[in-house]
């Protein structure tokens, strides 16, 4: 009997130990499948992309990629659940709708958004990823533009005309030894601090100087607020300061996070940016030609 009792105690201890091991092991297994962090892959950050239309859907390329990681920064290859992209609060200043195809199922811990499209233009967007209550840090900043032109080495390049609220324009960039990207956007940016009439048009290029031609519709020209004024000033916004029409430095507008002011006429030699010429067409449209340096300016009347 004693031997039997000792045997039973031993079996009971083994059973209890096994239960304890299983009880503590189960949560560890569950935790390994639950995201601790979501990270935009190094080569999977969002980039400036042309806006999509019903007739021409354009997916962001290269695709945005989000890695699902544990608390040690290791990929959770067992995670195959949904991951959703949304705008970081405050970066969608004009209330653009969320991107299309912004939820995908991860495969072995990697979510690839190969069909991500955007239906509204805008500047300074940032994305965040979310899954199972976990939200990523903000992505890199990017723009959604009306047109995107690939400029080839040794060749000049030009956009087509873009329009916003009676203001329109196009840009031509000079030739350079390296490739570049020239973009044109109508709208998608708040009014500049010195705006009087019309909408905002924007033209960006990294390493090439450019000539911007802006037009103001006849219906707005007829609203010229300046008594006896023959032409309109150009309100300019830029990430870098510039000389304004009264010879002072442009003022920083915190609301738009850029320097803004009225452009001067081009002297000889000319500072850049500046107004090279202005005239009215027979149809009553105001036409302004601007000499502009490389960069990311916004312009309006």
pTM across the whole model: 0.84
Please write the tens of the pLDDT for every residue from 64-102.
999 999 999 999 999 999 999 999 999 999 999 999 999
Q: Other CB atoms closer than 10 Å to residue 195's CB: what's the count?
A: 18
279, two tokens: 């005239």
- Predicted confidence band at 268 (pLDDT cuts at 50, 70, 90)? low
Query: CA torsion angle for 275, 276, 282, 285 (degrees, to 10)?
Result: -30
pLDDT in tens, 143-197: 999 999 999 999 999 999 999 999 999 999 999 999 999 999 999 999 999 998 8
Question: How is domain 37-144 classified at the architecture level of CATH?
Answer: Sandwich (2.60)
Distances (CA, A) of 250 to 124, 132, 178, 296, 297: 21, 46, 31, 15, 13
The domain limits of the chain are 37-144, 146-300
Whether the CB-CB separation of 295 and 239 falls below 8 Å is answered with: yes
Q: How far apart are CA 290 and CA 148, in angstroms?
A: 20
């Amino acid at each position: 009997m004693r031997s039997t009792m000792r045997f039973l105690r031993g079996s009971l201890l083994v059973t209890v130990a096994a239960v304890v091991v299983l009880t503590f092991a189960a949560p560890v297994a569950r935790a390994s499948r639950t995201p601790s962090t979501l990270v935009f892959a190094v080569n999977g950050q969002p980039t400036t992309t042309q806006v999509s239309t019903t007739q021409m859907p354009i997916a962001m390329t290269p695709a945005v990629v989000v890695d699902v990681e544990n608390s040690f920064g290791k990929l959770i290859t067992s995670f195959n659940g949904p991951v959703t992209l949304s705008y970081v609060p405050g970066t969608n200043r004009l209330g653009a709708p969320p991107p299309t195809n912004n939820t995908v199922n991860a495969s072995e811990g990697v979510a690839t958004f190969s069909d991500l499209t955007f239906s509204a233009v805008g500047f300074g967007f940032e994305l965040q990823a979310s899954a199972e209550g976990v939200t990523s840090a903000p992505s890199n900043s990017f723009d959604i533009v009306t047109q995107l032109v690939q400029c080839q080495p040794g060749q000049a390049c030009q956009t087509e005309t873009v329009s916003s609220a009676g203001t329109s324009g196009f840009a031509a960039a000079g030739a350079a030894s390296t490739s570049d990207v020239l973009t044109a956007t109508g709208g998608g940016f708040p009014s500049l601090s010195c705006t009087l009439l019309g909408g905002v048009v924007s033209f960006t290029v990294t390493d090439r100087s450019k000539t911007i031609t802006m037009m103001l519709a006849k219906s707005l020209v007829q609203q010229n607020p300046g008594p006896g004024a023959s032409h309109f000033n150009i309100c300019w916004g830029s990430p870098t300061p510039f000389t304004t029409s009264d010879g002072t430095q442009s003022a920083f507008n915190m609301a738009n996070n850029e320097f803004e002011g009225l452009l001067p006429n081009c002297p000889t030699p000319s500072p850049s940016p500046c107004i090279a010429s202005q005239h009215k067409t027979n149809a009553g449209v105001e036409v302004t030609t601007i000499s502009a340096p490389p960069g990311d300016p916004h312009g309006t009347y």
